[in-house]
Amino acid sequence: MKLPRQFFAPLAIGAPAPMRELPVRLERMIHFVPPHLEKLRAKVPELAGQVDVVLGNLEDAIPVEAKEAARNGFIAMAKAVDYGVTGLWTRINALNSPWALDDVIEIVGAVGDRLDVIMLPKVDGPWDIHYLDQLLAQLEARHKIKNPILIHAILETAQGVNNIEAIASASPRMHGMSLGPADLAASRAMKTTRVGGGHPEYKVLADANGDAPRPAYQQDLWHYTVGRMVDACAASGIKPFYGPFGDFSDAAACEAQFRNAFLMGCLGAWSLHPSQIAIAKKVFSPDPAEVAFAKAIVAAMPDGAGAVMIDGKMQDDATWKQAKVLLDLAKLVAAKDPEMAARYGL
Ligand code: GLV
Ligand code: MG
């Protein structure tokens, strides 16, 4: 076990010190761009003003023959745009692939000072994080990078789910985790053919009542995993995210899946299609009515202690803390979005 004092020591001479706290940033949608496609890359300057995070995807969905073009395209788009407060991430190829090493070496060498986060797919255990952690420290030292590049793990293997707490606390470089429902379904041998979302056959049937029709209630296939992910992330002080929703034709189902994740503690989701940007923005910005109620709680209990009744509902120290979570998030949204600031009255 690494000793506590060594946990925050740089892993290479000349590498920046690991961050003690994560930067406070709004990350409601991580928008995926396939960087080998020049036409889509050309939209990045405009996109950067519309989303919270722009991610250049190098892994799955990028054809094998375009892997290098995607890597070079990401470097070009990282250099071409001033991202301001918008995050710049890349999803590299898996560590066991022929591309991962060059993805990291070339990208950090070329644009390591512009890159906020590397998303690492198919993380099985803390050993994957340790490997990338050490490699990044060596490259940061070599290229004199000032701010540590963070790591975001995709939770998409059964082994990764088994090792979730160890992954979440593997390094101070850990930014957070996203659920990867498509690979996770395959890894678990689930009998589905979807990228996230529910399944009409995953349901509970109401008890029989004579010959009366028996209603069936669809359940959330991802509830268990999102719950584990949220607890592992919260316990380690890192951020949980829902990942992809592949049915672009079903905005309502996407919104419902994102909202379940938001209510359970997630801070954002991936947008794979432009139509999902607005959905994520709506879902992961707190509802103004909830924010108004949170304000009422804080106003009624300025020191956060005791008990009061508001609209017949008991409030105490614990609801005050919940209200603070909503208000802090609303303030973050308001700082970026004047329209939401007005709706929140902030
Ligand atoms: C994402 O990478 C997934 O596999 O769902
Ligand atoms: Mg995947």
Q: Do 228 and 167 meet the contact criterion of CB atoms below 8 Å apart?
A: no
Ligand 2 centre distance from Cα of residue 327 (Å): 33
**Domain boundary pick from 235, 255, 284:** 284
Q: Are residues 63 and 150 in the same domain?
A: yes
- pLDDT given at position 200: 94
User: Ligand 1: which residue has its CA nearest to atom 3?
Assistant: 180
**Residue 40 in 3-state DSSP?**
helix
Structural tokens at position 8: 């925050």
**Which amino acid is located at 161 in the chain?**
V
- pLDDT given at position 1: 79
Q: 154 CB under 6 A from ligand 1? A: yes
Q: Are residues 231 and 327 in the same domain?
A: no
Q: Are residues 102 and 158 in the same domain?
A: yes
**Domain boundary pick from 260, 284, 308:** 284
Q: Are residues 323 and 185 in the same domain?
A: no
Q: Residue 46 is part of which domain span?
A: 4-284
Q: Model confidence over 253-301: pLDDT tens digits?
A: 999 999 999 999 999 999 999 999 999 999 999 999 999 999 999 999 9
Residue bearing tokens 């706290």: 21
Q: Are residues 159 and 201 in the same domain?
A: yes
Q: Any idea which ligand is nearest the CA of 179?
A: 1
Mutation pick for ligand 1 pocket among 58, 60, 123, 155 (CB with most ligand atoms within 8 Å): 60
Structural tokens at position 319: 């609801």
H-state helical runs in the chain: 4-7, 38-41, 44-48, 67-80, 100-111, 126-142, 158-162, 164-168, 181-187, 223-236, 251-264, 275-284, 288-300, 317-336, 338-344
Q: Model confidence over 244-255: pLDDT tens digits?
A: 999 999 999 999
> Which residues have CB under 8 Å from 113's CB, separation 6+?
143, 145, 146, 147
DSSP lists the bridge partners of residue 174 as: 151
* CATH number of residue 41's parent domain: 3.20.20.60
Beta carbons within 10 angstroms of residue 22's beta carbon: 14
Q: Are residues 297 and 196 in the same domain?
A: no
Beta carbons within 10 angstroms of residue 153's beta carbon: 30
Residue bearing tokens 């020591």: 9
Ligand 2 centre distance from Cα of residue 94 (Å): 10
Q: Model confidence over 90-149: pLDDT tens digits?
A: 999 999 999 999 999 999 999 999 999 999 999 999 999 999 999 999 999 999 999 999
- pLDDT given at position 215: 96
Structural tokens at position 283: 């879902």
Q: 148 CB under 6 A from ligand 1? A: no
**Which amino acid is located at 224 in the chain?**
Y
Q: Do 3 and 156 meet the contact criterion of CB atoms below 8 Å apart?
A: no
Beta carbons within 10 angstroms of residue 90's beta carbon: 28
Q: Residues 315-340: what's their mean pLDDT?
A: 96
Q: Are residues 298 and 249 in the same domain?
A: no
Ligand 1 centre distance from Cα of residue 243 (Å): 7
**Residue 147 carries which DSSP code?**
S
Mutation pick for ligand 1 pocket among 195, 247, 270 (CB with most ligand atoms within 8 Å): 195
- pLDDT given at position 102: 98
Q: 182 CB under 6 A from ligand 1? A: yes
Q: Are residues 37 and 75 in the same domain?
A: yes
**Domain boundary pick from 233, 249, 284:** 284
- 2 pLDDT band, cuts 50/70/90, is confident
Q: 55 CB under 6 A from ligand 1? A: no
Structural tokens at position 234: 């919260």
How many domains is the chain partitioned into structurally? 2
User: Ligand 1: which residue has its CA nearest to atom 2?
Assistant: 180
Structural tokens at position 138: 């060596």
